[in-house]
A and B are shown apart, each in its own frame.
Chain A
Amino acid sequence: MRKNRKDSAIMKSKNVQLSALKESNAKNTYTKTRRKKQNGFCYKLVKYRVFLLMLLPALLYTLVFSYIPMGGVILAFKKYSYAGGIFNSPWNGLKNFEFFFKSGQALLVTKNTVLYNLLFIAFNTCLQITVAVLLTEVKNKHFKKISQSIMFLPYFISWVIVSVIAFNLLSFDYGVINSIIEKLGGEKINFYTTGTVWPIILTLFGAWKGVGYGSVMYLAAIMGIDTSIYEAASIDGANVFQRIFKITIPLMMPTVVILFLLAVGGIFKGNFDMFYNLVGNNGVLYNYTDVIDTLTFRALISNNDFGMSAAAGLYQSVLCFVTILLVNKLVSIYSKDYTLF
C-alpha cells in the first residue's frame, strides 16, 4: 500500500512518540528475556497471546469443519463400500482416475475450464470495476440506489430459471433473438447447435448474473479511500479521468488483487450450475462448453461413485494448488502486502 504522506502534523508527532515507545518496549522485553531465545516458539506464543486468542474460534472452526473432513480425500484411492466406510474400504490405486483419462476428453475439458475461467475473470473484473467506479460518480442519489439494487436482481434468479429465460431468447423456433433476426430479414441462427457462440453467451450470462454482487466489493473498496487525497489531487489540477486512473484504481488494488487471487484459486473448477443448466444434455455443444465438473457429473450419474468423484475433485484441487502457489509467489515479488498468504 502506498503510504499516504499527507498526514497531519498531529499524526507525525504521534509517530515519533510511537517509535520511542516501541524502542523502550523492545529494551524492556530484551532485558526480561535475555536468557530466552528472542525468537523462540514459546516466547512468541506469549508475545502473540492476544492475537492467538482472537484467532482461536476461527481456528477451532476450521479444524473441525474443514480439516477433519479433509481426510476424505483418501477416497480418491479407494474402492468405497458402505460397510468399510472411508478408512476400511480396500485400496484401489489410481483406478478411480482412470475414467477421467479414458474419456478422451480430459485435456479438452481441462483446457475449457481454464480458458472459461480466465475469460470470466477478465471480463467480470473489468465490468464490475467499471460499474463500481461509475456508480460513485453518479450524483443523483435515487438513480444511484435504484440502479444498484436493480443490478442485484439477477443474482437471485437461480440458474434453472435463467436457463428457461435463455431458452426463450435463443430458441430456434420461437426465440426472441431469432424472431428479431427474421423480422429484419436475416438468416436465423441455430444457437443450440452452434458451439462457437457459446463462449460469448456463457460469459454474458455469467457477467449479467454477477455484476451486482461483484461490484459491491469494489464499491466498498472505493468507499474506503481517504477523501482528502481527492481534494489534494483536484488542487493539483488533475482532471476527473486522471483522478480515476491515478488514484481510485491504484488504491483499489489490494481488493482487486485479492479477488483476482481468490478467483485464480478456483481456476480448474467450473461453475457446474451455470454450465449444466445453460447447456444441459446438449452434446453437440460439448467441444466448446464441456468443463471438468460437467464431465464428471455425466460420468457418475449412473452410479454415484464416491471414489471417482473424489478422484476428479483431487485432480482439480492439486492443479489449483500448484497454480495459486505460483501466482501468489509472482504477486509477492511485486508486493508482499497483496499476497493471499
Chain B
Amino acid sequence: MKKRVLSMIMIFVMLTVIFTGCGSGSKNKDKDTVSEVTEGGTRTYNGVDISKELTLKMYLLGDRSKDFDKVYTEINKILKEKLNTTVEIEFLSWSEHDTKYSLLFSSGEEFDLIFTASGWGHYEATAAMGGFYELSEDFIKTYAPDIWKVVPSAAWTQALIDGKVFMVPNYQNEFAVNVLAIRGDLMKKYGYDTIASWDDLIAYYGDITTGEAGITPLGTQGGGLLYPFLLHKGVDTIGGSPSELFIYNTLTPEDLSITYALDWEGFAEYCKAVKQMFDAGYWSADSLATTEERQDGLLNGTAASMVWNLGSCKLYAEQANREHPDWEVTIVDIASDISKGVNPYINNGVAINAVSNHKERAMMVLNEFYTNPAIYDLASLGIEGTHWEAVSDDQYKLLDANSDYGVDNNCNWGWTNADIRRKQYIENPTALDNKAQELQDTWSKDIKADHIYDGFTFDNSKVSSEIAAVGTVITQYYTPLMCGMAGDVDKAINELRTQLDNAGIQNIYDEIQKQAAAFVESKK
C-alpha cells in the first residue's frame, strides 16, 4: 500500500520536475564538479543524465546508532545537490543478517546498494546465486571514475568470482597479523624484556603456569594460537577454502604449490604442541564450551594474554590499563622476523543489487561515499563540531557527543579509503600507543612480496555438497585438535583425516588446484 502511494508521489514529483525543467537551481559550492544544467532542462553530472530525482535504498549491517539519521540527513543534502539523489538506509542487525541477507535477494526486494564482505559478509555465496550486479570495468570507469583511481588493481583481482567482479572492495592496508596483548607486569616479574618469537611466548606461558595461581596464559581461549603459529611458519590459508585446511607458502612467491594441511609437517607439530600446553594447563578445559569472549580473560585478570588483530588488542589493552594501571598491558608480535602482508581488500565492500532499477546512479552515489571527503567524514565520524573536530587536514579529535555516533561504527567500512581517512589525534601518547605505532611502522617498512595466491579466492559453489559435508566434520574433529583437547594426537589426526576423506575433501582439493591453476594462467 505504502509503496504504491510512494510510487505515485515519485511519479508526480518526476512529472513536475520534467515539466518545470528541474527546479533545483542551487549553485554547487564544489568548484571541481562537472554538474551542469543544459538548455533542454536536463541535468548532467560527468556527462550522465541526472535530471530524474531518485531515492536509493542501501542496506548496511549492524544497529542504527542514535545520531545516525541526523548524520545521514547531512549526507543527503550533499548528495541531493550534487547528484539529485538521496539515500535511505536500512539496517540488518548483527543477530539477523545471516538469515535475512539471502532472503532480501530471494524475495526480489527493490534496493540498490548493500554492504558485503568476503566470507562472513556473504559475498561469495550471494554472487554465486546471482544476487549481485556484475561491475564491468567500463561501468566502473563511467559511473565511478574516482573509485577506479583509488582502488588498487589487486583489490579488483581479489573480488573476481568466475572471472567477474561483483563488489567495490574497500581500500586500506590493514595488516593481517594476529598479535598478543600481554600483561607487562608479569613479563617484568619473570624477567622478559620483550617477547618476539614463538619460543619466547611458550617460555613465558610456562612461567605463568608454574608461578601464578589463578591466572592461565590464555584463559578460555584455547585454539587462539593457531594463527600466530601459521604466521610464524610463514604460511597462509587460501581465501574461500574451508577453515585452515589449504595453505600455501606466502613468503615465497615462486612456490605455487597448495598444501593440504594434514599433509603439512607443521600440522602435527602444532597439534602436539598445543596438546602439551593444554595438558600443562595453559588454557582452561572449558575452552570449547566457554561463553566468554576473547578479551574477557585478560580484562578480568584470569588470563595473562589475548590474541587478536592489532586494533582490537590495542583497544582492550587500553581498557585493561585504565582499570588496572599496574598491569602495564603491552602488545607483542611473536613473528617479528617475518614480513607481513595486508588483509584482503575484499574483507569489506559494497555491492549493487542485480535487480536494482538504478544501478548507474547507485554507482555514482557510491563514488561520492568513497571519494568525497565531506561525505566520507560524515559517514565515518559524524557531524563536525558535534561529534568531532578537525585537527589539521588529516586528523580528528573526538567530542563528547561522539558516543552517539561512534568512529567507523556505522558500517561505513565498505568504502574505507585510506587516502582520505582521518587519523585520531593523540595528545599524550602512552607506552602502549607508541608500541602499537612502532609495530605498524616496522611492518610497513617490510611488507612481504606479493604472492599470486594473496589475490586468489576459491569459488566453492562447484563443490557445495562437499563443503557442507566438511563443515559438519570441522567442529567435531578439527576444532578440538586445535585446542589440544582431542586426546591422543596421532589417533585424532587419523580420525580427522578419515572423516574429511569421507566428506569429499579430495574433490575440494582438486577443484582448488584447478581454479588456482586457471587463475595463475589468467595472470600471465
A contact residues vs B (CB 8 Å cutoff): 80-85, 95-96, 98-100, 102-105, 163-164, 167, 170-173, 190, 192-193, 280-284, 286, 290, 295, 298-306, 308
Contact = CB atoms under 8 A, between A and B. Distances in A.
A260 B286 CA distance: 37
B372 interface: no
A67 to B, nearest CB: 19
A102 B465 contact: yes
Interface string B458-500: 0011001111110111111111100001100000000000010
A284 B354 contact: no
Given A102-B504, A303-B125, A282 B288 contact: yes
A284 B290 contact: no
A303 B464 contact: yes
Contacts of A282: 288-289
B434 to A, nearest CB: 36
Given A80-B129, A82-B131, A299-B468, 19 more contacts: A81-B130, A85-B106, A96-B465, A98-B465, A99-B465, A102-B466, A103-B469, A103-B502, A105-B476, A163-B291, A167-B291, A281-B475, A298-B474, A302-B467, A303-B124, A303-B464, A303-B467, A303-B468, A304-B98
B468 A283 contact: no
B interface majority secondary structure: helix
A99 B466 contact: yes
A164 B128 CA distance: 37
Interface in B360-390: none
B464 A304 contact: no
Contacts of A280: 289
Contacts of B477: 283
Contacts of B102: 304, 306
A297 B130 CA distance: 23
A295 B472 contact: yes
Contacts of B461: 303
A192 to B, nearest CB: 4
A303 B161 CA distance: 15
B284 interface: yes
B286 A298 contact: no
B285 interface: yes
A219 to B, nearest CB: 35
Given A83-B354, A173-B284, A286 B475 contact: yes
B474 to A, nearest CB: 8
A283 B98 contact: no
Contacts of A163: 291
A211 to B, nearest CB: 24
20 contacts: A95-B465, A103-B472, A104-B502, A164-B291, A171-B286, A172-B285, A173-B285, A283-B477, A284-B476, A284-B480, A284-B485, A284-B486, A290-B476, A298-B471, A299-B468, A299-B471, A300-B471, A304-B122, A306-B102, A308-B465
